[in-house]
């Protein structure tokens, strides 16, 4: 294997390891100093004696000093054991796998919506630079980047779920139905509103980036030569423009994973969508240390992989950048 490939993989493995250590340590310190008592949260709305408190603390390891608890947890992580969630009474990895399935569906839908809508708007803005359409597109993009996700989600709920009743108010499936009984159409019906809300966060950057690249391509010599040959505007864009702006836009899409993941937590909370967003909120409020740390590690790995893909694509787009970073 090429030395540059080994250096690139080794460097990213070291970065990932340092990132996971930092995320785990900081998250544990914050949770250890949280005012929330996990034992009281365990017995929420239930009367419990001091003896029961002591038994539960001993069972879940809350009676040990924070440093000892962290070392035990870290040692178990190295053996692939992420612990058990005392909220769900299930292994942490099983909880994350089940919840992430819904979050991933939400993120992919929003990711594709923001990419397609942003790309189309950016191409139109670049083609008709300075026109009324271009000004409307720029204004819409600036509006999208300025609106908070939670506020937009509440607005969509009031208009489309409460007023018009086009979409359900919350959850990922109809109330009272088992998971096996929920149809694909019902899942999509519950997914549209939160996915549309989440996609707005990424439309702005894709639109503005695509517009700038399209304006740059429209002024190149080969586009002027194509115009001189009698090709129409749409022919020039279709034959020469799209291929030259597509890769930078795709690269930007992968680089937006961290923003999309953070926005998904807010969107799921607003819509009571049973993904990782609601789970991490509940874990924080109930002091479920194992589950919260597991989600923190999983989130860090997910975002790191998205940024890694973006870096690789950057190297493909710009060979000089690839050589400078020692990439493939």
- Return the CATH superfamily for domain 93-325: MetI-like (1.10.3720.10)
The residues, any chain, with a CB within 8 Å of residue 198's CB and separated by 6 or more, are: 106, 107, 110, 149, 260, 263, 264, 267
167-203 confidence digits (pLDDT tens): 888 777 777 777 777 787 888 888 888 888 888 878 8
Most confident of the ranges 23-37, 120-134, 228-242: 120-134
The residues, any chain, with a CB within 8 Å of residue 101's CB and separated by 6 or more, are: none
270-326 confidence digits (pLDDT tens): 888 888 887 888 888 888 888 989 998 988 898 888 888 877 776 666 555 555 554
Enumerate the domain spans of the chain.
25-81, 93-325
Exposure string over 114-132, b if 16+ CB within 10 A, otherwise e? bbebbbebbbbbbbeeeee
The residues, any chain, with a CB within 8 Å of residue 292's CB and separated by 6 or more, are: 27, 31, 280, 283, 284
Residue 85 forms beta bridges with which residues?
90
Give pTM, 2 decimals. Answer: 0.78
* Angle 231-236-238 from CA coordinates, rounded to 5°: 130
How far CA 23 is from CA of 17, 284, 296, 299, 300, in Å, comes to 10, 15, 7, 10, 8
**Per-residue confidence (pLDDT) for residue 120, from 0 to 100:** 92
**Per-residue confidence (pLDDT) for residue 190, from 0 to 100:** 86
Exposure string over 10-26, b if 16+ CB within 10 A, otherwise e? eebeeeeeeebeebbee
* Angle 217-205-260 from CA coordinates, rounded to 5°: 140
Tokens matching residue 36: 């929330």
* DSSP codes of every residue in 214-253: HHHHHTSHHHHHHHHTT--HHHHIIIIIHHHHHHHHHHHH
151-168 confidence digits (pLDDT tens): 888 888 899 988 888 988
């Amino acid at each position: 294997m090429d030395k540059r490939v080994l250096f690139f993989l080794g460097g990213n493995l070291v970065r990932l390891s340092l990132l996971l250590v930092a995320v785990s340590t900081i998250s544990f310190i914050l949770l250890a100093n949280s005012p929330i008592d996990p034992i009281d949260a365990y017995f929420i709305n239930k009367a419990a004696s001091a003896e029961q408190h002591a038994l539960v603390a001993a069972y879940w390891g809350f009676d040990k000093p924070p440093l000892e608890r962290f070392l035990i947890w870290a040692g178990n992580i190295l053996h692939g054991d992420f612990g058990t969630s005392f909220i769900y009474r299930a292994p942490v990895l099983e909880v994350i796998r089940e919840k992430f399935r819904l979050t991933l569906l939400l993120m992919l839908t929003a990711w594709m919506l923001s990419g397609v809508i942003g790309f189309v708007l950016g191409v139109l803005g670049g083609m008709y630079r300075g026109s009324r359409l271009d000004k409307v597109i720029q204004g819409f993009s600036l509006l999208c980047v300025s609106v908070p996700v939670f506020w937009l989600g509440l607005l969509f709920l009031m208009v489309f779920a409460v007023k018009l009743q086009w979409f359900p108010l919350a959850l990922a499936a109809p109330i009272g139905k088992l998971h096996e009984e929920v149809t694909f159409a019902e899942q999509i019906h519950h997914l549209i509103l939160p996915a549309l809300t989440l996609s707005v966060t990424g439309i702005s950057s894709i639109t503005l980036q695509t517009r700038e690249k399209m304006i740059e391509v429209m002024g190149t010599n080969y586009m002027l030569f194509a115009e001189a040959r009698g090709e129409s505007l749409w022919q020039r864009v279709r034959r020469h423009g799209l291929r030259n702006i597509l890769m930078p836009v795709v690269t930007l899409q992968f680089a937006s994973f961290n923003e999309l993941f953070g926005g998904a937590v807010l969107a799921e909370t607003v819509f009571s969508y049973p993904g990782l967003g609601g789970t991490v909120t509940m874990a924080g409020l109930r002091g479920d240390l194992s589950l919260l740390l597991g989600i923190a590690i999983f989130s860090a790995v997910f975002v790191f992989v998205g940024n890694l893909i973006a870096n690789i694509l950057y190297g493909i787009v710009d060979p000089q950048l690839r050589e400078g970073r020692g990439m493939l």
